[in-house]
Amino acid sequence: MGSRVWLVTGASGGLGQALVSEVLSAGERVIAVTRDDKPLQPLTAAFPGRLRTVSVDITDAGTLRAVLDDAITGFGRLDVVVNNAGYALAGPFEELDDAELRAQFEVNFFAAANVLRAVLPYLRAAKAGRVLQISSLAGQIGAPGMSAYTASKHALEGLSVSLAAELAPLGIRTTIVEPGAARTGFRADWASRLYGSAPLPVHEALARSAGAAGGQAGDPAGMAQALVILADMPSPPLRLPLGSDAVTGIGNARSDQLEELRRFTMLSASTDHTKAI
Ligand SMILES: NC(=O)c1ccc[n+]([C@@H]2O[C@H](COP(=O)([O-])OP(=O)(O)OC[C@H]3O[C@@H](n4cnc5c(N)ncnc54)[C@H](OP(=O)(O)O)[C@@H]3O)[C@@H](O)[C@H]2O)c1
């Protein structure tokens, strides 16, 4: 049977590549799904027979399924699936066109769904497995200039919460991973979004975020180590924030939400036929 097999999307750089490297170093095997396998060639050479790279467009469901079937059959098993590929379409909402918004969902939401459709039959047959959905701090909060990205990550989280409940009785555990800002190529193109037709406060917020690139607290290697620990947990959490900024941001958002819920309870509950409060 051999060691566990992971499937990681968005594997050519950033968190995905760090995870592939960490998993291989831990003695396990990886199917790395990528648009460009060149950055992974040193790992292929360093870990012979333990890394299969799959070059495919994850938004093309039909092709994706065929190549994943082939790779999974080649290794003979599948244990951990990591939906990691994603990008952030930054920009004031009014400056994003419909095609850009849909493209954001194609990669961050629908491609993850394509991967799940392709892999779940294998996990179901094994009556075991882990699904790690790489969301974001932005899957829990909003921020100016991030409407498209936060919408796509909130959608991924909504799918994942229900999916987790569907899969748990089958022995498959799902965790939504919520990284804070990490030092990857992730913010590389945000600066190109700074100039709209009219200056708005959102442009300043975006300029600050783009300017902070390179100084993010999160270390992708540390995040990769946390994901390996997560995949070993017998009772993994439904959600796992990564990074102190994610812990603080999500904690503050939930406290604010609870405080607001309490403050407006009378109005909220006043719409029942029979007054309960
Ligand atoms: N870095 C952060 O601050 C941060 C914070 C919270 C959440 N995240 C999430 O973490 C995940 C990994 O991001 P990262 O920080 O490692 O960023 P990254 O260095 O830009 O890597 C993202 C990977 O996603 C894939 N990808 C990007 N755009 C794509 C597209 N249009 N179509 C298909 N695949 C695409 C690429 O993989 P291939 O080229 O191999 O296909 C790319 O290597 C993403 O889901 C991101 O939303 C990142």
Residue 186 clears pLDDT 70, i.e. is over it: yes
Residue 125 clears pLDDT 80, i.e. is over it: yes
Instruction: Tell me the pLDDT band of 216, cut-offs 50, 70 and 90.
Output: confident
Instruction: Tell me the pLDDT band of 198, cut-offs 50, 70 and 90.
Output: low
Nearest CA to ligand 1 atom 44: 86
- Rounded CA-CA distance 212/215 in Å is 6
Nearest CA to ligand 1 atom 21: 14
pLDDT value at position 201? Answer: 87
- Rounded CA-CA distance 58/71 in Å is 14
In this structure, what token pair is assigned to residue 170? 């089958």
- Is 86 touching ligand 1 by the criterion CB < 6 Å? yes
87 catalytic? Reply is no
Residue pLDDT, tens place only, 79-112: 999 999 999 999 999 999 999 999 999 999 999 9
What structural domains and CATH numbers belong to the chain? 5-244 (3.40.50.720)
Closest CA to 218 of 179, 189, 248: 179
Long-range interactions of 233-240: CB distance < 8 A, separation 24+? 236/130, 236/173, 236/175, 237/175, 238/161, 238/164, 238/174, 238/175, 238/176, 239/175, 239/176, 239/177, 239/178, 240/175, 240/176, 240/177, 240/178
Catalytic pick among 12, 136, 152, 153? 153
Residue 140 clears pLDDT 80, i.e. is over it: yes
The region of weakest confidence among 90-94, 148-152, 166-170, 223-227 is 90-94
Residues of the chain above pLDDT 70, percent: 97
Residue pLDDT, tens place only, 50-67: 999 999 999 999 999 999
Q: How far is the CA of 145 from the centre of ligand 1 (A)?
A: 18
122 catalytic? Reply is no
Residue 196 clears pLDDT 80, i.e. is over it: no
Q: How far is the CA of 14 from the centre of ligand 1 (A)?
A: 7
Nearest CA to ligand 1 atom 37: 10
Residue pLDDT, tens place only, 222-253: 999 999 999 999 999 999 999 999 999 999 99
Q: At which residue do the structure tokens 């800002």 appear?
A: 181
